[in-house]
């Protein structure tokens, strides 16, 4: 495999983890988060610091997961207090705060970021395999959660909190669980990203990234694991395959987001589902 292929596949794996984990928060549990980049970034910075200090891969992975989920559960408490569209604004705020804070911290490298993160020792293709294995594990986990009692409770909370409460499903605990799980996975993706690039700056975790991830979830079909995986792979490859898309990335992503919401709010998943339903009828 060429170095180019390896890096593309690695990025696809990281984006799949990010999109699937955002889908657990926003798709399963209905809590719209436009700050997923902040949790990804927290994981990447924690893992980078751990790698620089100890050069131990398991420790760095753990640091990423813990940093992502701690920040995530803190933000999860916000979801207990405010209505859904305000939660979205708060998460935008969290993303800007994260970037604004990190940029001024000299111990996090400030504007220059952290460079010279020690290599994992697996080589580029070893890293890629680790990323792919963890991405597959994330997808399997997401499918499992979706079918479990917890997934049912997530959806109940997302659809109607009051109705869920009458079934004995307390919204608070499940919202926190969704945030905790989703952001832990974002932190994991952050650690993998730090291994992959060995150099991080805070600009990689800005609000635009969060919008891109939300675009993957919405275009794939909010709540559908397979739809989101397909959209994450497709939207990562699209700018590589088509030069026009690469030059006008935000134009294309923003346009797709608007068109999908306006014309097919169920995303790819609903389109495929309808197609099958129609062929079965015929």
Partner 1 sequence: MYYIDLAVTGVSFGCMYAMMSVGLTLVYGLLRILHVAHAAVFALGAYVVVLVANATGSIALGFLAAVIVTPLFGIAIYRLLYEPLLRYRPDVPMIASVGLLVLMQDAFRIMFGEQGVTFRQNALSFTTFDFHGVTISAVQIALIVTAAVVFAGLHLFTTRTRTGLGWRATVSRPKIAASFGVDPVKVRYLNFAIGSALAAVAGGLVALLNNLVDPSIGFVVSYKALAIIVLGGLGSVRGTLVASLVLGLVEAYGTIFIGAWLDRDAIAFLALIVLLMIRPQGFTGARTA
Q: How far is the CB of 268 from partner 1 (least distance, A)?
A: 16
Residue 253 interacts with partner 1 (CB under 8 A): yes or no: yes
Of the candidates 265, 274, 275, 276, which one interacts with partner 1 according to CB under 8 A? 265
Three-state DSSP state, 264:
coil
Which residues between 177 and 236 bind partner 1 (CB under 8 A)? 207-208, 211, 214-215, 218
Category of 105 on φ-ψ map: left (φ > 0), alpha (ψ -120 to 50) or beta? beta
Which among 176, 252, 237, 222 has a CA at the least distance from the CA of 19? 222
Residue 112 interacts with partner 1 (CB under 8 A): yes or no: no
Instruction: Print the binding letters for residues 66-85 with partner 1: x by CB under 8 A, - otherwise.
Output: -----------xx--xxxxx
Of the candidates 254, 266, 272, 273, which one interacts with partner 1 according to CB under 8 A? 254
> Is the CB of 35 or the CB of 64 nearer to partner 1?
35
Of the candidates 59, 257, 264, 271, which one interacts with partner 1 according to CB under 8 A? 257
Report the alpha-carbon distance of residue 60 to residue 127 in Å, rounded.
14
Of the candidates 116, 121, 262, 278, which one interacts with partner 1 according to CB under 8 A? 262
> Is the CB of 13 or the CB of 223 nearer to partner 1?
223
Residue 20 tokens read as 């699937």
> Is the CB of 134 or the CB of 211 nearer to partner 1?
211
Three-state DSSP state, 68:
helix
DSSP letters, 122-171, are SHHHHHHHHHHHHHHHHHHHHHHHHHSHHHHHHHHHHH-HHHHHHTT--H
Q: Which long-range contacts (CB under 8 A, 24 or more apart) does 271-276 make?
A: 271/221, 272/227
- Binding residues for partner 1, per CB under 8 A? 32, 34, 77-78, 81-86, 88-90, 92-94, 96-97, 99-101, 103-105, 207-208, 211, 214-215, 218, 248-251, 253-258, 261-262, 265
């Amino acid at each position: 495999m060429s170095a180019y292929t390896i890096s593309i596949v690695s990025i696809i794996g990281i984006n799949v983890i990010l999109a699937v984990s955002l889908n657990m928060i926003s798709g399963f549990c209905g809590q719209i988060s436009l700050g997923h980049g902040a949790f990804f970034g927290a994981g990447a910075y924690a893992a980078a610091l751990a790698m620089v200090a100890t050069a131990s891969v398991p420790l760095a992975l753990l640091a990423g997961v813990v940093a992502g989920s701690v920040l995530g559960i803190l933000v999860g408490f916000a979801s207990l207090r405010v209505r859904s569209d305000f939660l979205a604004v708060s998460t935008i705020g969290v993303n800007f705060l994260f970037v604004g804070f990190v940029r001024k911290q000299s111990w996090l490298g400030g504007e220059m970021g952290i460079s010279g993160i020690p290599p994992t020792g697996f080589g580029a293709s070893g890293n890629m395999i680790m990323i792919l294995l963890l991405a597959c594990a994330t997808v399997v986990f997401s499918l499992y959660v979706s079918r479990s009692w917890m997934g049912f409770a997530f959806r109940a909370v997302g659809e109607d909190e009051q109705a869920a409460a009458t079934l004995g499903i307390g919204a608070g605990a499940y919202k926190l669980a969704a945030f905790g799980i989703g952001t832990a996975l974002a932190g994991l993706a952050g650690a993998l990203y730090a291994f992959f690039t060995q150099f991080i700056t805070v600009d990689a975790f800005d609000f635009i990234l969060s919008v891109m991830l939300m675009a993957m979830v919405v275009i794939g079909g909010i709540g559908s694991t397979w739809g989101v995986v397909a959209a994450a792979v497709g939207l990562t490859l699209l700018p590589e395959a088509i030069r026009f898309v690469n030059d006008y990335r935000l134009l294309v992503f923003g346009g797709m987001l608007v068109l999908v919401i306006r014309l097919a709010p169920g995303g790819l998943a609903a389109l495929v589902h309808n197609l099958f339903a129609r062929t079965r009828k015929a």
